[in-house]
Amino acid sequence: MIAEVKRASPSKGVLAPDLDPAELARTYERGGAACLSVLTDVEFFQGSPADLAAARAACRLPVLRKDFTVDARDVCDARLMGADAVLLIAAALDDDELGSFLVLGQQLDLDVLVEIHDEDELARAVAVGADLVGVNQRDLVTFAVDTARAVRMAPQMPDGVICVAESGITGAADAAVLARAGYHAVLVGEHLVTSADAGAGVDALRRAHRAAG
């Protein structure tokens, strides 16, 4: 269960205007999250490095820096911010960038989550040695969510790859479907930050995923 600290999104606008990243991180930890994802992009998600630092300091969970990583310096920044993992979006990078940023992340002792959307991007991710792959069900251009995408992609995941389903997860039933499809983890943001009780939301998702998987 990867629980996300997310203030806003390009498609929905402001999601949690009064979000306190430290308090939310503690709530997620109490709910049983295994990891945090923290948006640090300012322009589209109203996040910041300060959000990551506050969340990291407030709990013992590892933290993924969620941002548009398009330069080697972005990978280094993730480590300097105190992140434990960095996101690489295959659609935003060419093969050389994808491979070199992944190696750089590993050299900096960061886990590297490579995000893909289709078969071609999965093949590219595997070719550069990715062992942690996320399937984003949201189209990056139209922002439309295809809630069947992760299930369709699941049989194509090679052995040895840790699989994460991202976006469009709105409750325990979705988590259960993804667990049965073979996903080791789900990354959930909007559903949690807009819920009345984020901790209970994490717990419900975690229990459903574990029971089904």
- Look up 11 and say whether it is catalytic: no
Q: Which CATH number fits domain 2-212: 2.60.40.2550, 3.40.1280.10, 3.20.20.70, 3.40.50.150?
A: 3.20.20.70
Q: Is residue 66 annotated as a catalytic residue, yes or no?
A: yes
Compute the distance between CA of residue 130 and CA of residue 4 in angstroms, rounded to an integer. 22
Residue 7: both structure tokens together: 């203030």
Q: CA 172, CA 175: separation in Å to the nearest integer?
A: 5
pLDDT tens for 1-39 read 999 999 999 888 999 989 999 999 999 999 999 999 999
Query: What pLDDT score does 49 carry?
Result: 97
What is the domain partition of the chain in residue ranges? 2-212
Active site residue 167: yes
Of the residues 4, 29, 121, 190, which is catalytic?
4
**Average pLDDT for 137-165:** 93
User: Is 12 a catalytic site residue?
Assistant: no
Decide if 136 is catalytic.
Answer: yes
